[in-house]
């Protein structure tokens, strides 16, 4: 089981990274083809699209994964459960589309009055509708352990999206609109493929809409979770655009896309861990395994964040992004915030396992109220640096509160030595990066410090136990 989990982690990580990597792969193209103002316009409209994606999912993807194990021994009941969810999802989203179209002028005039709303609205709501349904396919692949299909689906999605967006942005030269149009047309074939794949799970016989009550009780809080996470990361887009302008928003969006590498890795790992945890949660060794996993997970993301911080400046120079280099004044804080957000994705399964999911949006709601309030108070004084620091405070608080609440349902213990060592390495390396500039000598010093930190984890820092070292060596020999 452990070997299968390790294999699935690799495939899920690559698959999820492909689904998110489009922003990184296309970033050099956007930098060269779009002005900073246009990139700010893209950021606002895509933020609204992300909100609609979360709204239209109703939290059904994690719901499907949690209840799959309840119906695992009865395929007919699962088909009835799945079909009820799918019909509700389709019908409910059609209604949402009409409601959005009615109110879209008011919403967009409030958020981005400088853009021609009518040019974008059809593509944004259409993209959001199409995006919802392939997510159920990905959830089915995960709970059934079909990591290869998950990987292939994301690979196809990556190449279709890249080709279509490249066509509209580079060949057609449609600018910011080209990015939005590309997202729309790239999702249409995946939407059609999704319904073809549903043929093995969908039935009109024996439908039982009483399942919807259970699904909505579990899923709606998770829908609010998605909306609240959107608020934590996207409400400030509108605040920045209003208070600091589209140019500042363009800078912030590039920094966010870079920090999102860390979040993507965190989400990818949790994709494999969630169904695996639900299947082994009752085993006696799982709490200890979970705690060690969290410690190692934080250290891995810390190392990745340091590498991005040290290398990112030079990569932007190479791809011609000199106009974005000032983001390194606040990028380190976004990277630290991304570590805590990724930690949240792995720790909140302790609450999901209990099925008492309303505490999740409650915690996030507190985070939004405090975080956005602080951002509104300090944005004009501290600008993008202030918002980035507030992100660290907000995400770290949300992680701690979620961990403490989860402990009341499912106790795990993260080894203290792993937490201390991870914090030391994070503080030392980020401090060195902040003090030194970006010449060749400084880069060599930074790289040397990072290498020593990594080697220290194995040889002289109290991070890995002897048992973990033996396990790692055993796996390396097998490889």
Secondary structure class of 362 (helix, strand, coil):
helix
pLDDT for 293-313, tens place per residue? 888 889 999 999 999 999 988
Structure tokens at 453: 């930190």
Give the model's confidence band at 428: pLDDT under 50 very low, under 70 low, under 90 confident, else very high: very high
**Per mean pLDDT, which range of 63-77, 286-300, 350-364, 388-402 is the poorest?**
63-77
- pLDDT at position 67: 80
CB atoms within 10 A of CB 206: 11
pLDDT for 135-171, tens place per residue? 888 888 877 777 788 888 888 888 898 899 999 988 9
CB atoms within 10 A of CB 78: 18
Q: Residue written as tokens 């019908």? A: 91
Task: Identify whether the C-beta of residue 97 lies closer than 8 Å to the C-beta of residue 129.
Answer: yes
Please give the Cα distance from 156 to 30 (Å, whole number): 22
Q: Where are the alpha helices (DSSP H) in 319-411?
A: 331-347, 349-354, 359-407
- pLDDT at position 325: 87
Please give the Cα distance from 102 to 317 (Å, whole number): 45
Instruction: Residue 268: give the domain boundaries.
Output: 2-478
Q: Stretch 67-89: mean pLDDT, rounded?
A: 82
- pLDDT at position 16: 64
- pLDDT at position 114: 52
- pLDDT at position 338: 92
Please give the Cα distance from 279 to 47 (Å, whole number): 35
Give the model's confidence band at 17: pLDDT under 50 very low, under 70 low, under 90 confident, else very high: low
Task: Identify whether the C-beta of residue 394 lies closer than 8 Å to the C-beta of residue 370.
Answer: yes
- pLDDT at position 109: 57
Please give the Cα distance from 321 to 313 (Å, whole number): 9
Average pLDDT over the chain reads: 82
Please give the Cα distance from 299 to 308 (Å, whole number): 14
Residue 65 CA to chain centroid, in angstroms? 18
Secondary structure class of 345 (helix, strand, coil):
helix
Please give the Cα distance from 71 to 83 (Å, whole number): 13
The count of domains in the chain is: 1
Cα-flanking dihedrals φ and ψ of residue 58, to 5°?
55, 20
**Per mean pLDDT, which range of 109-113, 381-385, 403-407 is the poorest?**
109-113
pLDDT for 109-120, tens place per residue? 555 555 556 677
Write 204-209 long-range contacts (CB < 8 A, 24+). 204/83, 206/76, 206/79, 206/80, 207/80, 207/83, 207/84, 207/87, 208/80, 208/81, 208/84, 209/84, 209/88
Taking the alpha carbons at both ends of the chain, their separation in whole angstroms is 17
Comparing CA positions, the residue from 214, 266, 221, 265 lying closest to residue 364 is 221
pLDDT for 263-273, tens place per residue? 888 877 787 78
pLDDT for 219-251, tens place per residue? 888 788 778 777 777 778 878 888 888 788 888
Please give the Cα distance from 131 to 151 (Å, whole number): 17
Comparing CA positions, the residue from 3, 344, 300 lying closest to residue 147 is 3
Based on DSSP, count helices (H) and strands (E) in the chain, helices before strands. 16, 0
Q: Stretch 377-401: mean pLDDT, rounded?
A: 91
Comparing CA positions, the residue from 90, 82, 89 lying closest to residue 65 is 82
- pLDDT at position 389: 93
Please give the Cα distance from 411 to 289 (Å, whole number): 12
Percentage of the chain beyond pLDDT 70 is 91
Q: Residue written as tokens 């934080």? A: 298
Indicate whether 445 pLDDT > 70: yes
- pLDDT at position 473: 74
Higher pLDDT, residue 70 or 116: 70
Please give the Cα distance from 244 to 375 (Å, whole number): 12
pLDDT for 168-219, tens place per residue? 988 988 887 888 888 889 888 888 988 888 888 887 777 777 778 888 888 8
Task: Identify whether the C-beta of residue 132 lies closer than 8 Å to the C-beta of residue 89.
Answer: yes
Q: Stretch 85-95: mean pLDDT, rounded?
A: 88
- pLDDT at position 1: 45
Comparing CA positions, the residue from 3, 2, 139 lying closest to residue 69 is 139
Q: Where are the alpha helices (DSSP H) in 281-358?
A: 286-318, 331-347, 349-354
- pLDDT at position 112: 52
- Name the DSSP class of 413: -
């Amino acid at each position: 089981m452990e070997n299968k989990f390790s294999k699935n982690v690799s495939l899920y990580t690559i698959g999820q990274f492909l689904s998110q990597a489009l922003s990184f792969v296309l970033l050099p193209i956007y930098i060269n083809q779009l002005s900073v103002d246009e990139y700010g316009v893209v950021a606002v409209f895509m933020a609204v699209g992300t909100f609609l994606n979360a709204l239209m999912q109703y939290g059904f993807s994690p719901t499907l994964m949690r209840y799959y194990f309840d119906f695992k021994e009865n395929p007919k009941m699962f088909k009835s459960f799945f079909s009820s969810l799918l019909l509700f999802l389709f019908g409910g989203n059609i209604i949402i589309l009409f409601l959005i179209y009615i109110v879209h002028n008011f919403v967009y005039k409030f958020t981005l009055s400088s853009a021609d709303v009518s040019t974008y609205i059809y593509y944004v709501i259409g993209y959001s509708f199409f995006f919802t349904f392939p997510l159920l396919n990905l959830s089915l692949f995960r709970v059934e352990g079909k990591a290869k299909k998950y990987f292939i689906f994301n690979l196809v999605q990556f190449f279709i999206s890249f080709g279509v967006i490249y066509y509209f942005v580079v060949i057609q030269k449609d600018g910011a609109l080209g990015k939005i149009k590309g997202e729309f047309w790239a999702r249409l074939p995946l939407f059609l493929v999704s319904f073809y794949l549903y043929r093995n799970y969908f039935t009109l016989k024996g439908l039982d809409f009483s399942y919807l009550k259970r699904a909505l009780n579990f899923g709606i809080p998770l829908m609010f979770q998605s909306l609240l996470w959107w608020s934590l990361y996207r409400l400030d887009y509108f605040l920045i655009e209003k208070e600091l302008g589209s140019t500042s928003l363009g800078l912030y969006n590039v920094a966010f896309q870079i920090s999102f590498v860390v979040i993507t890795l965190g989400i990818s790992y949790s994709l494999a861990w969630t169904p695996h945890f639900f299947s082994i949660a009752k085993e006696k060794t799982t709490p200890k395994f979970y705690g060690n996993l969290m410690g190692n997970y934080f250290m891995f993301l810390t190392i990745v964040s340091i590498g991005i911080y040290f290398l990112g400046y030079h990569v932007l120079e190479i791809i011609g992004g000199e106009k974005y280099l000032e983001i390194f004044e606040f990028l380190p804080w976004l990277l630290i915030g991304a570590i805590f957000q990724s930690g949240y994705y792995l720790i909140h399964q302790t609450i999901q396992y209990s099925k008492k999911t309303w505490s999740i949006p409650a915690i996030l709601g507190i985070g939004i109220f405090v975080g956005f309030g602080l951002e509104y108070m300090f944005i004009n004084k501290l600008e993008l640096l202030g918002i980035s620091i507030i992100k660290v405070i907000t995400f770290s608080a949300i992680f701690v509160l979620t961990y403490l609440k989860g402990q009341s349902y499912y106790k795990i213990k993260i080894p203290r030595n792993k937490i201390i060592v991870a914090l030391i390495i994070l503080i030392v390396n980020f401090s060195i990066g902040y003090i030194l500039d970006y010449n060749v000598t400084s880069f060599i010093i930074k790289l040397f410090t990072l290498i020593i930190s990594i080697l220290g984890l194995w040889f002289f820092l109290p991070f890995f136990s002897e048992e973990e070292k033996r396990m790692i060596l055993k796996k390396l020999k097998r490889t």
